[in-house]
Amino acid sequence: MIEVVLAGALTTVQDLGRPGHAHLGVGRSGAVDRPSLRLANRLVGNPEDAPALELTFGGLTLRAHDSVTVALTGAPARLTLEGRPGAMHAAITVAAGETLEIGMPSRGVRTYLAVRGGLVCDRALGSASTDVLSGLGPPPVTDGVRFAVGRPTAPVPGVDVVPGRSWPVEPVLRLLRGPRDDWFAPEALELLGSARFEATPSSDRVGVRLDGPPLTRVREGELPSEGMVEGAVQVPPDGHPVVFLADHPVTGGYPVVAVVHPDDVPVAAQLRPGDGVRFRFVPGPVSPPLG
């Protein structure tokens, strides 16, 4: 058993989501930075899809009621165990009665905390993920919540620590041409592939909202609602693009000018307000598969 003493700004339970239900109007959800979730689970000997905690801007304090092994990955944050500094990207034993505190990350937005054995949670459509847009899954974590911990199914890997990812000051995300790029002037596409954009404070698990030079349309009106995918770069009437993340709506009526390469979506998900980002177009299909 672990107890959440302080939940921080937004802490949710996440796994790898519930793919395959978009045709029923249910989005995938799950961790917005799935590689970090997978790594945290591997470090404590869990299956990669075991439920864990996704911390937004840190601020989490946990107390162990029984001895547990945990690992933290994703946005690098200061962590202390009973006042002693701890390491990210490593398995840490928290003895019964001890308290673990995670501060605000120095870079990025979301830090992942996996507990050996996984968190025991109710599931919806096979997943324990919290979808903040639809409300599906467990509610956001609050102060005082307790989680039971499951039984381990595999040994802890024999590694002390693994390297963390690099955090470029201004990442460059790869783009595939979108299904509605013909709604935009050629100059707008050139601008998207060359200009600097900046993440705004209105970004969340649904999408990263960007500020920068507006993208000009050559077609008026709106589209009938059509399917959306994670990484879709949708452009509302104000011309400022939005990069869809894990909790994106499954349909939308604004044109999708491009789609962020699936391998770069986790980087987009870690952009914090004020962070700069650039894009470059690469050859590829119009969009990745729905799911």
CATH number of 172-281: 2.40.100.10
- Say what the pTM is: 0.94
The domains of the chain are located at 2-147, 172-281
pLDDT values of the chain reduced to their tens digit, one per residue, 291 residues: 999 999 999 999 999 999 999 988 999 999 999 999 999 999 999 999 999 999 999 999 999 999 999 999 999 999 999 999 999 999 999 999 999 999 999 999 999 999 999 999 999 999 999 999 999 999 999 999 999 999 998 888 888 778 888 899 999 999 999 999 999 999 999 999 999 999 999 999 999 999 999 999 999 888 899 999 999 999 999 999 999 999 999 999 999 999 999 999 999 999 999 999 999 999 875 444 433
> Which CATH number does 2-147 carry?
2.60.120
SS3 sequence, the chain?
Answer: CEEEEECCCEEEEECCCCCCCHHHCCCCCCCCCHHHHHHHHHHCCCCCCCCEEEEECCCEEEEECCCEEEEEEECCEEEEECCEECCCCCCEEECCCCEEEEEEECCCCEEEEEECCCECCCCECCECCCCCCCCCCCCCCCCCCEECECCCCCCCCCCCCCCCCCCCCCCEEEEEECCCHHHECHHHHHHHCCCCEEECCCCCCCEEEEECCCCCECCCCCCCCEECCCCEEECCCCCCCEEECCCCCCEECCCEEEEECHHHHHHHHCCCCCCEEEEEECCCCCCCCCC
